[in-house]
Protein backbone atom coordinates (compact mmCIF):
# COMPACT_ATOMS: atom_id res chain seq x y z
CA UNK A 1 0.00 0.00 0.00
CA UNK A 2 3.01 2.29 -0.09
CA UNK A 3 3.34 2.69 3.68
CA UNK A 4 6.48 2.14 5.73
CA UNK A 5 6.35 -0.63 8.34
CA UNK A 6 8.41 -0.41 11.52
CA UNK A 7 9.12 -3.08 14.11
CA UNK A 8 9.58 -2.83 17.87
CA UNK A 9 12.40 -5.29 18.57
CA UNK A 10 12.83 -4.34 22.24
CA UNK A 11 13.30 -7.88 23.57
CA UNK A 12 14.28 -9.54 20.32
CA UNK A 13 17.74 -8.03 19.88
CA UNK A 14 20.27 -10.20 21.69
CA UNK A 15 17.59 -12.87 22.10
CA UNK A 16 16.90 -14.23 18.61
CA UNK A 17 18.62 -14.06 15.23
CA UNK A 18 17.60 -11.03 13.17
CA UNK A 19 18.33 -10.33 9.50
CA UNK A 20 16.64 -6.97 9.06
CA UNK A 21 18.44 -6.03 5.84
CA UNK A 22 17.87 -9.40 4.18
CA UNK A 23 14.22 -9.41 5.23
CA UNK A 24 13.69 -5.97 3.69
CA UNK A 25 12.46 -4.42 6.96
CA UNK A 26 11.74 -0.71 6.44
CA UNK A 27 12.81 0.40 9.90
CA UNK A 28 13.08 -0.89 13.46
CA UNK A 29 14.11 0.18 16.95
CA UNK A 30 15.07 -1.62 20.15
CA UNK A 31 16.51 -1.31 23.63
CA UNK A 32 19.79 -2.76 24.85
CA UNK A 33 19.26 -2.89 28.60
CA UNK A 34 17.99 -6.45 28.82
CA UNK A 35 19.34 -9.09 26.45
CA UNK A 36 22.26 -6.94 25.29
CA UNK A 37 23.19 -6.44 28.96
CA UNK A 38 23.83 -2.69 28.90
CA UNK A 39 21.76 -2.14 32.05
CA UNK A 40 18.69 -0.07 32.92
CA UNK A 41 18.64 3.23 31.02
CA UNK A 42 21.06 1.87 28.42
CA UNK A 43 21.29 3.09 24.84
CA UNK A 44 18.58 2.36 22.30
CA UNK A 45 19.23 1.26 18.73
CA UNK A 46 17.63 1.89 15.37
CA UNK A 47 17.69 0.48 11.84
CA UNK A 48 16.61 2.06 8.58
CA UNK A 49 16.97 -0.03 5.43
CA UNK A 50 19.46 1.40 2.96
CA UNK A 51 16.75 1.43 0.28
CA UNK A 52 15.15 4.25 2.30
CA UNK A 53 18.36 6.27 2.75
CA UNK A 54 16.78 9.26 1.02
CA UNK A 55 13.08 8.63 1.69
CA UNK A 56 12.78 8.09 5.46
CA UNK A 57 14.07 11.16 7.28
CA UNK A 58 14.18 12.07 10.98
CA UNK A 59 11.55 14.29 12.59
CA UNK A 60 14.04 15.44 15.21
CA UNK A 61 17.36 16.58 13.78
CA UNK A 62 20.63 17.50 15.44
CA UNK A 63 24.17 18.46 14.56
CA UNK A 64 25.46 14.89 14.91
CA UNK A 65 23.31 13.83 11.96
CA UNK A 66 24.95 16.46 9.75
CA UNK A 67 27.59 15.48 7.18
CA UNK A 68 30.98 15.33 8.93
CA UNK A 69 32.77 17.20 6.15
CA UNK A 70 30.69 20.35 6.71
CA UNK A 71 29.55 19.84 10.30
CA UNK A 72 31.67 22.65 11.73
CA UNK A 73 31.11 25.27 9.03
CA UNK A 74 28.29 26.71 11.13
CA UNK A 75 26.43 28.03 8.08
CA UNK A 76 22.99 26.87 9.30
CA UNK A 77 22.52 24.75 6.18
CA UNK A 78 21.51 21.26 7.20
CA UNK A 79 23.16 18.44 5.25
CA UNK A 80 21.77 15.23 6.67
CA UNK A 81 23.82 12.06 6.37
CA UNK A 82 21.71 9.61 4.32
CA UNK A 83 20.18 6.67 6.17
CA UNK A 84 19.95 5.91 9.86
CA UNK A 85 23.20 7.76 10.68
CA UNK A 86 21.35 10.99 9.91
CA UNK A 87 18.99 10.27 12.80
CA UNK A 88 21.71 10.95 15.35
CA UNK A 89 21.08 14.11 17.36
CA UNK A 90 24.18 14.61 19.48
CA UNK A 91 27.19 12.86 21.01
CA UNK A 92 26.40 9.43 22.45
CA UNK A 93 26.96 9.44 26.25
CA UNK A 94 30.29 7.70 26.72
CA UNK A 95 29.35 6.16 30.08
CA UNK A 96 26.45 4.39 28.36
CA UNK A 97 28.51 3.42 25.33
CA UNK A 98 31.18 1.59 27.35
CA UNK A 99 29.07 -1.22 28.87
CA UNK A 100 27.24 -1.78 25.59
CA UNK A 101 30.49 -1.89 23.63
CA UNK A 102 31.91 -4.45 26.07
CA UNK A 103 28.76 -6.56 25.80
CA UNK A 104 28.73 -6.46 22.00
CA UNK A 105 32.31 -7.71 21.96
CA UNK A 106 31.18 -10.77 23.93
CA UNK A 107 28.27 -11.32 21.54
CA UNK A 108 30.67 -11.08 18.62
CA UNK A 109 32.80 -13.85 20.11
CA UNK A 110 29.86 -16.06 21.06
CA UNK A 111 27.80 -15.41 17.86
CA UNK A 112 24.03 -15.11 17.85
CA UNK A 113 23.71 -18.35 15.90
CA UNK A 114 25.40 -20.37 18.66
CA UNK A 115 23.54 -18.51 21.40
CA UNK A 116 20.19 -19.07 19.74
CA UNK A 117 20.95 -22.75 19.27
CA UNK A 118 21.69 -23.09 23.00
CA UNK A 119 18.68 -20.92 23.87
CA UNK A 120 16.26 -23.23 22.06
CA UNK A 121 17.58 -26.21 24.02
CA UNK A 122 17.77 -24.34 27.34
CA UNK A 123 14.24 -22.93 27.23
CA UNK A 124 12.96 -26.20 25.80
CA UNK A 125 14.44 -27.99 28.82
CA UNK A 126 12.72 -25.53 31.18
CA UNK A 127 9.42 -25.98 29.33
CA UNK A 128 9.70 -29.78 29.46
CA UNK A 129 10.50 -29.84 33.18
CA UNK A 130 7.60 -27.54 34.08
CA UNK A 131 5.14 -29.61 32.06
CA UNK A 132 6.58 -32.83 33.48
CA UNK A 133 6.28 -31.85 37.13
CA UNK A 134 3.70 -29.09 37.40
CA UNK A 135 1.02 -29.76 34.78
CA UNK A 136 -2.55 -30.43 35.85
CA UNK A 137 -3.06 -34.03 36.99
CA UNK A 138 -6.57 -35.49 37.30
CA UNK A 139 -5.27 -38.00 39.83
CA UNK A 140 -3.95 -35.21 42.07
CA UNK A 141 -6.70 -32.64 42.36
CA UNK A 142 -4.90 -30.70 45.12
CA UNK A 143 -1.65 -30.42 43.17
CA UNK A 144 -0.36 -26.89 42.56
CA UNK A 145 -0.41 -26.26 38.82
CA UNK A 146 1.95 -24.13 36.71
CA UNK A 147 0.83 -23.07 33.24
CA UNK A 148 3.02 -21.68 30.45
CA UNK A 149 1.25 -18.96 28.49
CA UNK A 150 4.19 -18.25 26.15
CA UNK A 151 3.75 -19.83 22.68
CA UNK A 152 5.13 -23.37 22.52
CA UNK A 153 6.51 -22.89 19.00
CA UNK A 154 10.20 -21.96 19.14
CA UNK A 155 9.71 -19.69 16.11
CA UNK A 156 7.28 -17.57 18.14
CA UNK A 157 9.37 -16.97 21.26
CA UNK A 158 12.82 -16.16 22.58
CA UNK A 159 14.35 -17.50 25.77
CA UNK A 160 11.64 -16.26 28.14
CA UNK A 161 8.64 -18.21 29.44
CA UNK A 162 5.75 -16.51 31.24
CA UNK A 163 4.23 -18.69 33.94
CA UNK A 164 0.89 -18.55 35.74
CA UNK A 165 0.02 -20.45 38.90
CA UNK A 166 -2.94 -21.99 40.72
CA UNK A 167 -1.70 -20.23 43.87
CA UNK A 168 -1.33 -16.44 44.29
CA UNK A 169 1.37 -15.11 41.98
CA UNK A 170 2.66 -12.49 44.44
CA UNK A 171 3.38 -15.14 47.06
CA UNK A 172 5.20 -17.29 44.49
CA UNK A 173 7.29 -14.28 43.46
CA UNK A 174 8.17 -13.43 47.07
CA UNK A 175 9.28 -17.00 47.74
CA UNK A 176 11.41 -17.03 44.58
CA UNK A 177 13.08 -13.78 45.63
CA UNK A 178 13.85 -15.22 49.08
CA UNK A 179 15.70 -18.05 47.36
CA UNK A 180 17.76 -15.74 45.16
CA UNK A 181 15.92 -16.38 41.89
CA UNK A 182 16.06 -13.36 39.57
CA UNK A 183 12.82 -13.04 37.61
CA UNK A 184 10.01 -10.51 37.39
CA UNK A 185 6.26 -10.39 37.82
CA UNK A 186 3.58 -8.92 35.60
CA UNK A 187 0.07 -8.24 36.79
CA UNK A 188 -2.38 -9.77 37.07
CA UNK A 189 -0.83 -13.22 37.47
CA UNK A 190 2.33 -13.76 35.41
CA UNK A 191 5.96 -14.41 36.36
CA UNK A 192 8.57 -14.14 33.61
CA UNK A 193 11.47 -16.58 33.72
CA UNK A 194 14.29 -16.27 31.19
CA UNK A 195 17.19 -18.72 31.06
CA UNK A 196 19.63 -16.57 29.09
CA UNK A 197 22.06 -18.67 27.02
CA UNK A 198 24.97 -16.25 27.41
CA UNK A 199 25.27 -16.80 31.15
CA UNK A 200 22.70 -19.41 32.29
CA UNK A 201 23.31 -23.14 32.24
CA UNK A 202 21.20 -26.29 32.10
CA UNK A 203 22.15 -26.81 35.75
CA UNK A 204 20.61 -23.43 36.56
CA UNK A 205 17.33 -24.63 35.05
CA UNK A 206 17.56 -27.88 37.02
CA UNK A 207 18.12 -25.95 40.27
CA UNK A 208 15.17 -23.66 39.47
CA UNK A 209 12.84 -26.61 38.99
CA UNK A 210 13.97 -28.13 42.29
CA UNK A 211 13.46 -24.81 44.08
CA UNK A 212 10.02 -24.38 42.56
CA UNK A 213 8.59 -27.29 44.55
CA UNK A 214 9.44 -25.68 47.90
CA UNK A 215 8.34 -22.29 46.55
CA UNK A 216 4.91 -23.60 45.59
CA UNK A 217 4.53 -25.46 48.89
CA UNK A 218 5.28 -22.24 50.80
CA UNK A 219 2.92 -20.19 48.64
CA UNK A 220 0.18 -22.81 49.07
CA UNK A 221 0.51 -22.74 52.86
CA UNK A 222 0.03 -18.94 52.90
CA UNK A 223 -3.18 -18.91 50.86
Which residues form the domain of 153? 113-221
- The residues near 156 (Cβ < 8 Å, ≥ 6 apart) are none
* Residue pair 169/190 in contact by the 8 Å Cβ criterion: yes
My answer on whether 210 and 141 are in the same domain is yes
My answer on whether 179 and 133 are in the same domain is yes
pLDDT for position 157: 97
What is the rounded distance in angstroms from the CA atom of residue 140 to the CA atom of residue 25? Answer: 50
My answer on whether 69 and 117 are in the same domain is no
Residue 39 lies inside a defined structural domain of this protein: no
pTM over cut 0.85 = yes
My answer on whether 11 and 84 are in the same domain is yes
Residue 97 lies inside a defined structural domain of this protein: no
My answer on whether 119 and 198 are in the same domain is yes
Residue 37 lies inside a defined structural domain of this protein: no
Number of domains in the chain: 2
Residue 56 lies inside a defined structural domain of this protein: yes
What is the rounded distance in angstroms from the CA atom of residue 77 to the CA atom of residue 166? Answer: 63
My answer on whether 18 and 73 are in the same domain is yes
Q: How far is CA 149 from the centre of its chain?
A: 17
How many DSSP H helices and E strands does the chain contain? 5, 7
pLDDT in tens, 71-121: 999 898 999 999 999 999 999 999 999 999 999 999 999 999 999 999 999
pLDDT in tens, 116-168: 999 999 999 999 999 999 987 766 667 789 999 999 999 999 999 999 999 99
pLDDT for position 217: 87
Residue 166 lies inside a defined structural domain of this protein: yes
b/e sequence 30-47, b meaning 16+ C-beta within 10 Å: bbbbbbbbbeeebbebeb
Amino acid sequence: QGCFVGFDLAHAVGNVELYLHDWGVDFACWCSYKYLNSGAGGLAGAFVHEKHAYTIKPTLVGWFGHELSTRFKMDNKLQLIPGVTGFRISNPPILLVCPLHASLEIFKQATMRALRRKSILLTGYLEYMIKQYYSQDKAETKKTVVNIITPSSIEDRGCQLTLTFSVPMKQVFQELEKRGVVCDKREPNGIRVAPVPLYNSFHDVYKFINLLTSVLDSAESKK
